Amino acid sequence: MAARRPAPFLLFSAAVHLGGLAALVTAPAHWRLVLGLVVADQALLLAASLRPRSALLGPNLTRLPRPVAGDELALTFDDGPDPEVTPQVLDQLEQAGAAATFFCVGRRARAHPELIEEITRRGHRVENHSFRHSKLFFFYPPRLLAREIDRGQEVLERLSRCRPRYFRAPAGIRGPWLDLLLARRGLHLVSWTRRGFDTLDRDPSRVAGRLVRDLSAGNVLVLHDGDCARDRGGRPVVLEALPRLLEAMAARGLRSAALPDPE
């Protein structure tokens, strides 16, 4: 596997910081200018980190590769497995003849190994969504990031009998260290084309509407089989939104496939 070079923006950022340090040593009187450049660079890094679809911090799959797309799109599910929701999602996908990719949380997979087995048995793909899905993931230093990735890899590979090739950061937010750590492990970052916000919105029609809008081949769509919101009747929103999405896909001649193996 060829080594992946750091993203140009990260190389530029490193140059700004190293150049600023050198300037402070050789021309300390210009410290205000140096500070301004470093602060501006940090602001750009933060903005890129908070934009899940950005590729400034490294390669980021937001659509299926063009040669693979055809009439295909990719349904992906985050934050599972969940003993209540995941089996029903699997049943709905099977009824529609749809394949999907499940970005699973390592500790939840460890607690429900039978669900990982069922996901793979039905022909879906299991990928890495970190071990704990911590809300502090963005702030983790490299060593802790590596531990979260590796623990997720170990659990998911053991349970699915297939090594994950993709990684999705919790909430899609990641810092500047993540790309280097993923590259060393042969992992590829995936975000999305559109997401349904089904962890927040309790209205299934609005959730489905966000995904159906401008629906086309090559899209990577996100729903959740874990930590999803519930409608006013207490039913998980994803279980009401997914059938609407699958119907819209069928009406437009689109089908869902699992993410392809990365090149």
Sequence spans of domains, the chain: 8-49, 66-256
Q: Stretch 156-180: mean pLDDT, rounded?
A: 95
189 Cα distance to chain centroid: 7
Number of neighbouring beta carbons within 10 Å of residue 113: 14
Q: Stretch 168-187: mean pLDDT, rounded?
A: 94
**Do 73 and 101 meet the contact criterion of CB atoms below 8 Å apart?**
no
pLDDT value for 3: 57
Q: Stretch 232-254: mean pLDDT, rounded?
A: 97
pLDDT value for 142: 94
DSSP string computed for 23-91: HHHH-GGGHHHHHHHHHHHHHHHHHHHT-TT--TTS--B-B--HHHHTTEEEEEEEEE--TTHHHHHHH
Q: How confident is the model at residue 41 (pLDDT cuts 50, 70, 90)?
A: low
Higher pLDDT, 40 or 251: 251
**Closest by CA position to 231, among listed 263, 254, 207:** 207
pTM of the model: 0.91
b/e string for 48-69 if b means 16 or more Cβ within 10 A?
Answer: bbeebebbbbbebbbbbeeeeb
**Do 242 and 89 meet the contact criterion of CB atoms below 8 Å apart?**
yes
Higher pLDDT, 162 or 68: 162
**Do 232 and 195 meet the contact criterion of CB atoms below 8 Å apart?**
no
pLDDT value for 1: 44
Q: Kindly tell me if the per-residue pLDDT of 20 is higher than 80.
A: no
231 class by beta-carbon count within 10 Å (0-12 exposed, 13-18 middle, 19+ buried)? middle
Domain over 66-256 is classified CATH 3.20.20.370: yes
Q: Stretch 180-193: mean pLDDT, rounded?
A: 96
